[in-house]
Amino acid sequence: MSEARAFRGVWIPAELWLSRELSLQEKVMLVEIGSLSVDPDRGCYKSNKAFAEFFGITKGRVSQIIAALSDKGYIRISYRRDGNRIVERNIFLSGSVGEPRYLENKPGCLENSPTPSENIKGGYLENAEESNTYKSNTVRVIQEGENSPSPEPRAEKPKSKIPPCPYQALVDLYHEVLPQLPKILELNSERRGLLKARWTEHPDLNWWREYFEWVGQSKFLTGQTDPRPGKPPFFANLEWITRPRNFVNIIEGKYHREAV
C-alpha cells in the first residue's frame, strides 16, 4: 500500500545508529514511526498489520519490536478508548521538542482495532532484547526542499516530570480488583522494575484500576478456560501482566476473545 509522506529522506543521529542496545529492526522501526508522525497530536497510528506488510515480517514480530522500544524508553504509547474497546493506538518517539518535524515526547502509534493473536499460549517465536535504560534520541524527517541538517547538537527542553511509582498502592489495587489472582507476598526488585517501567507509560492510578478491571474480564487470564490435558488452569499474576509484551497484548484485547 502506498502512503503519502511529506519528506524526501531521514537523518538519524549517530548515537542512535551506532547504538548496541538496538537491533537493526528496532532502528528502522524508529525511522518508520518518525516518517509517519506528521500530526504531532496523533503521532504514528499505523497498525501492526500495516507495519508487518511494509517490513515483510509477522504481526507478532512487529508487536515484539514495538514493545521492546517502549520498554527501552525510545517510544511512548497511548490508547484512545470507546468504553473498553480500543479505537486508536498512538506511538510517539521520546526526544527533544523542536520544530513540528521533530517528534515530541508524548504518549502514543494507533491501531483502529486490535489484531487477533494467532497463538496466545505459544507466545512469539523470536526473542527481543530488554533493557531498563532510557535513551532520548531524535529522528528528524527532512522536508521537501530542505538541505540536510547540521549535526550540531541541540539543547533539549526539560521533560515533564513523572510522579514516583507508588509500588504499594499498585499492589493494593491489584489485590482489591483482582482477588482471584495470585497474591503478592514479596515485592522484589524484578517486580518493582516492571511496575516502574509500566508506571512511566501510564502514571495514573485511575488508569491502573481500569487496567486491572480489564484483566478481570478475561477468562483466559483468570483461570476460567479449560487447561491443556494434565496441566492446571492458568492464572496470570502481577508480574505476568506487567511484562511489556503481555501488557501490550492485554491492552489490545488479545486475551479477551472466546476460544473458538
Q: What is the pLDDT of residues 49-103, one digit of tens each?
A: 899 999 998 888 898 899 888 888 888 888 887 776 778 888 988 763 223 333 3
Provide the pLDDT for residue 8. 62
Backbone angles phi, psi at 35, to 5 degrees: -70, -25
Tell me which amino acid residue 56 is. Answer: G
Q: What is the pLDDT of residues 172-228, one digit of tens each?
A: 999 999 999 999 999 999 999 999 999 998 999 999 999 999 999 999 999 998 888
User: Residue 154 has which C-alpha cell?
Assistant: 541541540
Determine what percent of the chain is predicted with pLDDT higher than 70: 69
**Selected residue with higher pLDDT from 256 and 260:** 256
User: Residue 35 has which C-alpha cell?
Assistant: 516518517
User: Residue 33 has which C-alpha cell?
Assistant: 514511526
**Selected residue with higher pLDDT from 150 and 20:** 20
Kindly report the pTM of this predicted structure. 0.44
In this prediction, residue 127 has a pLDDT band, given cuts at 50, 70 and 90, of very low
Distance of CA 171 to the CA centre of its chain: 22
Determine contact, residues 15/137, Cβ cutoff 8 Å. Answer: yes
| CA separation for the pair 25, 18 (Å, rounded) | 13
Element (H, E) at 64: helix 59-71
**Selected residue with higher pLDDT from 199 and 112:** 199
User: Residue 17 has which C-alpha cell?
Assistant: 545508529
User: Is residue 139 scored above 90 in pLDDT?
Assistant: no
Provide the pLDDT for residue 20. 86
